[in-house]
Structure 1
């Protein structure tokens, strides 16, 4: 799924799978009610010099999931930042169990549902003193997703007694550790491996072929294998992986599509090879999966072609992809969906106030030259499209660097969530008429009264900024398609989103007949402007909820205090630095303006500090 916090309601997040049901108010205050992490051990006591296993247990509600070391097209793996490890103790990296696929066409993610126990080896030093106790501590961070994604962290610690002999097992965790070990993939390192498995990785004609041969006499199935790459930039995660059987029932080869972000050909193909859970021959505790690291051999095109499926099989595989709804639309379909999604974005609570009030600015342009009005419409559209392209370029650059992010990725950072909350809150106050900064935050409705083209362009930029917390229908498929296509096509899809969002305004600015049908200017315009403040407040309230999930009740309270101080700053500006202040004569008026702006600046700084 997309790594984003989409537009939803608190109850929607609850209904998506909270088990047992949790009151929405409680979730605001404590996100750990949705997901918890705990540092555990299969033993209550340890011996000097031994090596045991500890684990990070992560629980998520039914229907939610966490992520593997390579999360796929979107996500982030769990990590532990160790802060309290006694001297001499060594903790390994996480030993990842075999992952599962989570497909949200056209994207593919890898991870774990329900409860997951992530094992780590703990090496106890020889010199540790029996009769003492040691404590391991750190901070666990993990992302868990369903309809939305939530990023959280929690302090974790584990106390273990040191004994001279007879270490005590922990009956609560003993069996669960055995179960977790049974899901660890079996390491295979290429042809002639001692396990009896033989693997070869070939590359040519922009195609990988992974050849697999099972040990003699093996009674399992290979026709539904799937390869989970460890490196997120080697394969296209959502692409089909056709399996060609033979020669014999114990041999198969997987056809793998390289990622457009791969760059140079890696030396080794690393990852986990596994069929669906329950496939005969792949039982937990025996061979649940293969952890492979195979040298890649570059071969001529004709050699690769000889290993690919026959033409009839290739056609059948393509038809099967269409029939099963792989969800990867053509570029033309993606562009159409992007345009329609951009149109619908105008109706989202984030965008509607800005767009609607900008359209109402036409009411003040009845006597303006049509050509000038039309130019302002196109400049506004240019601001929207260029802003979408800038956002797309940033997204693609981050993904090319190896991070898996999607639309709304910035909402994973509490600082950006707080900044967006403050911006939308201030726009709401501005629409209510509490204050004006120069010519207003939104710069709405100034084309016919001295506003320049820069104002129209910046309004387009602002409309795009306030649109980022929202996702309109059809946008998900279009954006997902953008992330698995070449950069030029990705930019075209994002440009389609921007064009769809800007089209209503550009059409209206180009149609004098439509302008004549707008109601005459009047006091109703101020009433409507004030009414549009409340959708802004609604989105700010939702972002505040997201911020509370990320930082807890203390963080949400601090942000509320910051918003209060920002409101105070707006009131000071509106009361003493507006038109009434400008009409004051002499030093008294100037001093009042200086004082009011200084007080407002201090309030803003205090608000930022609180937030």
Structure 2
């Protein structure tokens, strides 16, 4: 009966994952939102990203629409028909002005008419300027909007939302992020980028007459480096003009093949007029990336603008980055992050001692295949998140409570199995033989699926941190195309699997170990303790995300489940065995569902413990001002789940020599905690083409753009960077 327990529990975990997530969402969405106003074609409400005002004079709200299938609302420039939502703030108090941040829209074409807008679900972020940030805000909002399908219906809605004035706890500002903040920021990330340093941009804009049709010619650069392709180009102007669908144009003779050219027909132009010198706003949409530029149409352009300078061969870069990925995956085997899976690796080798050469080779090849497959799954998930407009990064699965909970349950089961409290010996077709990798029955009836699943599981636990070369490779991949992501992640998987592949090439290595005996029981007991320690570590991370109470509930559920399995081992009668089996199942279900009923802590502790470094809250927007004032800024992006981050902290940053240097009055320590998802941190990392942690950078008067440090810190490297950034070349020697 129990031999099928894990298989059934695994199916139950997969079946209930979405239910847990839904319960958590419902529980968290009850604050700072108006009631839904329901119509036949849509439901809408007003939500706030903040639970109270802060010292900032800007308050972020969101106007959320849930549209019925085939219905849409309009963008700020509706196109050939329609009009966008109109907001009236009359009656509101402490509001000076408000601005809608418009996410990139979709084009809808029907009967030769083009309109632009949104379907399904959309949140329009709104930045509200306050008269006095220290006072409460009373929102009285009237929304007039047009919603269309086969017919168009004008509609209106009124909302009232009160946001209290900011309060302080123990003299410190209280957390203000509401349960809706993440959803609003998700749509903020879809708002087209503006300003300088855009990843893609319109590099040329001219006009001509083609076949008696006024036409705009656009050259767009940066597409290859960004790994995106043009989906749409939207043109807005003050004149009553229409612009056609962008069509790729001939490349002509150009010196920069990265510039792609498009033609857009111009409609509605009066006879004898042209669009030369016309100010326009251009929105370029390319997959999850969109940019917005205000330009003036050039007259009679001769063709594309030639790029200055040369760039390295893209093919050479790709192979070099591929080598970095291979080395990074290999080095990951000896990083602190893999310590939690050391037990699994050790038992894989020990279990191969009594197998013949063919079995050893096939088993380790299967483990390597599981590692590579796991990297493919991670890559596929990241691609999906990227196309959905979300933030992506290396190890972000450790930011998800459900992932942590499931991994903790699996680790607990592995430990119980390691200690011989239960065994799983089901038939091959069940595919549940993964635990054979850590039982004494490996020597007979070992399943290839066991090795494969063990490799997959080990990979998931071994990827919360970065490593030398790995950060560069992952940054290149996540900023690139789908091909780049899968190419780099495949090489990362091969690099991590190289030790397994090496044993597969020389399987006789496994026979060097002594024959099985009592020593294996001692080893299994120690490795089981290591797995329990890993589970406790994951519970510590979980407590940061769902609160201490939720983590304790998960732990109690695991203890109850373990106690039930232990009791079952000691009873032989059918009825008591059934009862303790039910207790075990109940305990693991409690552990699984507990996070769904837990409320995340309102704040994340960033204050240092006594005797450690005094870190300031992460505020990247202040770095340039601090540097201009002559300060040197050390930025540390860390997380509770990042083992390498904790090693860097204990063995480098908090050592005597480095701490003495960091306590200089002109050095500012700024720490970003990425234990939970944070869009500001994700954007900061992405600005350096980095998507994983550890990440450390030093800014100063002599290095205003920052000096990036290696993933594995050393005291000399930190002190040298501080000296170079501050202009005090003797800083390292004086600290030593």
* TM-score, scaled to structure 1: 0.51
CA distance in 2, matches of 1:295, 1:491: 37
Map Cα deviations across residues 383-420 of structure 1 (whole Å, 9 max, x no partner): 22112112111211210222221122223333333333
1:229, 1:269 within 8 Å by CA — same for their partners in 2? no
Q: Distance in 2 between matches of 1:538 and 1:93?
A: 50
Mapped contact 1:346–1:352 kept (Cα < 8 A):
no
Q: What is residue 192 of structure 2 aligned with on the other side?
A: 231
The C-alpha deviation readout for 1:325-361, integer Å capped at 9, x for no partner, is xxx9922222222222222333322332212211221
Structure number with greater CO (CA < 8 Å, separation at least 6) is 1
Contact 2:418 2:524 in 1 (8 A): yes
Partner of 1:29: none
In 2: Cα distance, 1:467 partner to 1:414 partner: 17
> Is the Cα contact below 8 Å between 1:139 and 1:153 reproduced in 2?
no
> Contact 2:372 / 2:494 at 8 angstroms: preserved in 1?
yes
SS at match of 2:354: helix
Q: Verify the 8 A CA contact 1:426 1:567 in the aligned structure 2.
A: no
What residue number does 2:717 align with? none
Post-superposition Cα deviations, 1:186-219, rounded to whole Å, max 9, x if no partner, equal xxxxxxxxxxxxxxxxxxxxxxxxxxxxxxxxxx
SS in 2 for 1:519: coil
CA contact (8 A) 1:359 1:505 kept: no
Partner of 2:129: 121
Does 2:385 correspond to 1:385?
no
Structure 1 Cα separation of the partners of residues 508 and 299 of structure 2: 66
CA distance in 2, matches of 1:355, 1:55: 51
Q: Does 1:261 align with 2:228?
A: yes
The correspondence for 1:308, drawn from 299, 306, 309, is: 306
Q: Secondary structure at the match of 2:459?
A: helix
Q: Counterpart in 1 of 2:350?
A: 360
Checking the alignment, whether the CA contact within 8 Å between 1:422 and 1:563 is kept in structure 2 is: no
What are the Cα deviations for residues 457-498 of structure 1, in whole angstroms up to 9, with x where unaligned? 221222222224344443222211111333223212111111
Counterparts in 2 of 1:519-530, with a 5 A limit?
A: 519-530=514-525
CA contact (8 A) 2:51 2:177 kept: yes
Q: How much has 1:442 moved relative to structure 2?
A: 3.4
Q: Structure 1 residues 486, 55: CA separation in 2 closer, same or farther (over 3 Å shift)?
A: closer
* Mapping of residues 198-277 of structure 1, within 5 Å: 230-231=191-192, 256-257=222-223, 259-268=226-235
1:603 maps to 587
**Alignment equivalent of 1:490, drawn from 481, 485, 503:** 485
Q: Which residue of 2 aligns with 1:566?
A: 558
Superposition pairs for residues 305-454 of structure 1, below 5 Å? 307-309=305-307, 313-315=308-310, 318=311, 330-347=317-334, 348-365=338-355, 368=356, 370-436=357-423, 442-444=435-437, 446-454=441-449
Over 3 Å counting, the alpha-carbon distance change for 1:432 and 1:269 in structure 2 is farther
Distance 1:263 1:242 in 2: 12
Aligned counterparts of 2:220 and 2:417: Cα–Cα separation in 1 = 59
Using the alignment, how far apart are the partners of 1:374 and 1:463 within structure 2?
Answer: 19
Question: Is 2:458 aligned against 1:463?
Answer: yes
Q: Is the 8 A contact 1:346 1:355 kept in 2?
A: no
**Per-residue Cα deviation, 1:76-112 (whole angstroms, up to 9, x for no partner):** xxxxxxxxx998678835789xxxxxxxxxxxxxxxx
* 412 and 153 in structure 1: CA distance in 2 versus 1, 3 angstrom threshold: farther
In structure 2, what is the Cα distance between the partners aligned to 1:331 and 1:512? 33
In structure 2, relative to structure 1, the CA distance for the partners of 1:451 and 1:399 (3 Å cut) is same
**Residue 450 and residue 301 in structure 1: after superposition, are their counterparts in 2 closer, same or farther (change >3 A)?**
farther
For 2:191 and 2:467, locate their aligned partners in 1 and report how far apart those are by CA, in whole Å: 33
Asked whether the equivalents of residues 353 and 535 of structure 1 are also in contact (C-alpha less than 8 Å), the reply is yes
Q: How does 1:31-42 map onto structure 2 within 5 Å?
A: 39-40=53-54
Once residues 232 and 300 of structure 2 are traced to their aligned partners in structure 1, the CA distance between those partners, rounded to angstroms, is 15
Give the conservation status (yes or no) of the 8 Å contact 1:345–1:501: yes
Please report how far the alpha carbon of residue 55 of structure 1 lies from its aligned counterpart in structure 2 after TM superposition. Answer: 4.1
Deviations 1:426-467 (A, max 9, x none): 434443445445578633155431122121222122222222
Distance (Å, rounded) in 2 between the aligned partners of 1:525 and 1:494:
35
Q: Secondary structure at the match of 2:351?
A: helix
SS at match of 1:308: coil
Pair 1:267–1:548, CA change in 2 (3 A) = same
In structure 2, C-alpha distance between the alignment counterparts of 1:300 and 1:235, rounded to whole Å: 26
Superposed counterparts of 1:566-585, under 5 Å: 566-576=558-568, 578=569, 584=572
Structural mapping, 1:14-163, within 5 Å: 39-40=53-54, 54-55=58-59, 92-93=98-99, 120-121=128-129, 136-137=162-163, 154=177
The answer to whether the 8 A contact 1:88-1:124 is kept is: yes
Distance 1:607-1:510 versus aligned 2 partners, 3 A rule: same
Tell whether the 8 Å contact from 2:353 to 2:513 is kept in structure 1 after alignment.
Answer: yes
Unmatched segments (≥5 aa) in structure 2: 1-49, 61-88, 103-125, 131-137, 143-159, 167-174, 180-188, 205-218, 238-290, 427-432, 596-736
Calculate the TM-score normalised by the size of structure 2: 0.43
- In the TM superposition, what are the counterparts of 1:151-190 in structure 2 within 5 Å? 154=177
**TM-aligned CA deviation for residue 262 of structure 1:** 4.2
Counterparts of 1:357 and 1:299, CA distance in 2: 72
Match in the other structure for 2:725: none
Separation in 1, partners of 2:476, 2:505: 32
Q: Hey, what's the Cα distance between the residues in 2 that align with 1:524 and 1:492?
A: 43
Q: Which structure 1 residue ranges, 5 or more long, are not aligned?
A: 1-35, 43-52, 57-84, 97-117, 128-133, 141-151, 157-227, 245-252, 271-290, 323-327
Paired residues of 1:364 and 1:448 also in contact (CA < 8 A): yes
RMSD of aligned C-alpha atoms?
A: 4.8
The Cα of 1:264 is off from its aligned counterpart by 1.0
Relative to structure 1, the CA distance from residue 419 to residue 231 in structure 2 (aligned partners, 3 Å threshold; closer, same or farther) is farther
Asked if structure 2 preserves the Cα contact closer than 8 Å seen for 1:235 and 1:262, the reply is: no
Out of 493, 501, 504, the position equivalent to 2:496 is 501
Check the 8 A contact 1:337/1:474 in 2, yes or no: yes
**Quick check: 2:560–2:587 contact (8 Å CA) kept in 1?**
yes
Deviations 1:257-297 (A, max 9, x none): 46433441321599xxxxxxxxxxxxxxxxxxxx9643798
CA contact (8 A) 2:503 2:509 kept: yes
